[in-house]
C-alpha cells in the first residue's frame, strides 16, 4: 500500500496511537496549545517537549489537524473524569453548584491553559472539518454524560431540573464557558458579583433555592 507516512494516522492502527510516545506527544500538544495557542504551537517545540523527534509527529498523526483532533479526544476524557469525580458525592443543589463553581475557579486560576484550550480548539475547528466534527462530538458526549448524571440526581430526589437533563446540562456548560471567558480575559476585575449571579442562575436551573 502507500508509504506508512501517509497512512499512519488512519484507523488501520489505532493501537499505534496508544503507544507511550504517542501519548506523550498528545499531552505535550495539549499543554502547548493551552499555553501558546494552536498556531503558536510548532512541531519543533511540541516534539521537544514530548522528548521525541519532530518527524515522529508526522509519522503518528500525519498532520497538525489530526494531532489536534487527538488532543480534543484526550481532553474530552479528562474533562469527563473530573466532572464525575467532582459531582459524585454532592447530595444537594447547593453542594452541586458549589462543586461546579469551585472547580471552575480552580481551573481558571491554576491552569488557565486548560480552559483556553477549549477556545483555541474552537477557533481552530472553524477552519477544519475534521476538527469541527471532533469538537462537536466532544461536546455532545460531555453534554449527554452530564445529562445522565443530572437525570440520576433527579431520580434520587436531589435536584428538580428546570428542563430536560441535556438542556440543563448544556445551559450549565454555556454558563461555565462564558464565565471562564470573562475571568480569563479580564483577570484583574473582581468577579464575585458575576459569580453570585451565576450561582443563583445555576441553582435555579437545578431547581434549588
Partner DNA sequence: GGAGACTGGCTGGCCGGCCAGCTAGACTGG
Partner DNA sequence: CCAGTCTAGCTGGCCGGCCAGCCAGTCTCC
Q: Which of 21, 80, 191, 208 binds its own copies (CB under 8 A)?
A: 191
CA distance 87 to 49: 33
**12: contact with DNA by CB under 7 A:** no
63 within 8 A of 22, measured Cβ to Cβ: no
Report DSSP letters for 142-186, one per residue.
HHHHHHHHHHHHHHTTS---SS-HHHHHHHHHHHHHHHHHHHHH-
65 binds DNA (CB under 7 A): yes
User: Hey, which residues between 27 and 66 contact its own copies (CB under 8 A)?
Assistant: 36-40
Q: How many whole angstroms separate alpha carbon 46 and alpha carbon 202?
A: 38
Is residue 123 part of the contact set for DNA (CB under 7 A)?
no
Supply angle C-alpha 70, 55, 128, rounded to 5: 40
Size of the site for DNA (CB under 7 A): 29
Q: How far apart are CA 176 and CA 178, in angstroms?
A: 5
Q: Is 81 in the site for its own copies (CB under 8 A)?
A: no
Question: How far apart are CB 59 and DNA at their closest, in Å?
Answer: 5
d(CA 178, CA 165): 20
* Burial class of residue 193 in the structure, from the number of CB atoms within 10 Å of its CB (0-12 exposed, 13-18 middle, 19+ buried): exposed
**Nearest distance from C-beta of residue 200 to its own copies, angstroms:** 5
Q: Which is nearer to its own copies, 18 or 193 (CB)?
A: 193
Does 41 help bind DNA (rule: CB under 7 A)? yes
Using CB under 8 A as the binding rule, whether residue 136 contacts its own copies is answered as yes
* Choices 48-56, 103-111, 138-146, 183-191 (CB under 7 A): range interacting with DNA: 48-56
- Cell numbers at 198, concatenated: 451565576
Stretch that binds DNA, among 58-66, 74-82, 125-133, 177-185 (CB under 7 A): 58-66
Nearest CB to DNA, comparing residues 21 and 145: 21
- Contact pick of 26, 28, 29, 52 for DNA (by CB under 7 A): 52
Residues within the interface to DNA (CB under 7 A): 3-7, 9-10, 13, 16, 19, 21, 39-44, 52-56, 58-60, 62-65
Amino acid at each position: 500500500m502507500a508509504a506508512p507516512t501517509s497512512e499512519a494516522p488512519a484507523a488501520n492502527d489505532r493501537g499505534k496511537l496508544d503507544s507511550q510516545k504517542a501519548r506523550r506527544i498528545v499531552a505535550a500538544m495539549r499543554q502547548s496549545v493551552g499555553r501558546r495557542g494552536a498556531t503558536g504551537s510548532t512541531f519543533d517545540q511540541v516534539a521537544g517537549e514530548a522528548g521525541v523527534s519532530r518527524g515522529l509527529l508526522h509519522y503518528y498523526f500525519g498532520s497538525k489537524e489530526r494531532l489536534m483532533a487527538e488532543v480534543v479526544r484526550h481532553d474530552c476524557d479528562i474533562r469527563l473524569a473530573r466532572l464525575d469525580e467532582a459531582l459524585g458525592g454532592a447530595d444537594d443543589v447547593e453542594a452541586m453548584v458549589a462543586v461546579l463553581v469551585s472547580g471552575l475557579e480552580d481551573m481558571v486560576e491554576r491552569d488557565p491553559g486548560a480552559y483556553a484550550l477549549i477556545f483555541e480548539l474552537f477557533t481552530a475547528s472553524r477552519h477544519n472539518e475534521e476538527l469541527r466534527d471532533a469538537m462537536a462530538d466532544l461536546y455532545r458526549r460531555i453534554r449527554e454524560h452530564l445529562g445522565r448524571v443530572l437525570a440520576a440526581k433527579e431520580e434520587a430526589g436531589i435536584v428538580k431540573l428546570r428542563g430536560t437533563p441535556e438542556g440543563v446540562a448544556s445551559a450549565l456548560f454555556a454558563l461555565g464557558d462564558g464565565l471562564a471567558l470573562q475571568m480569563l480575559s479580564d483577570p484583574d476585575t473582581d468577579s464575585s458579583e458575576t459569580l453570585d449571579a451565576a450561582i443563583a442562575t445555576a441553582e435555579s436551573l437545578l431547581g434549588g433555592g
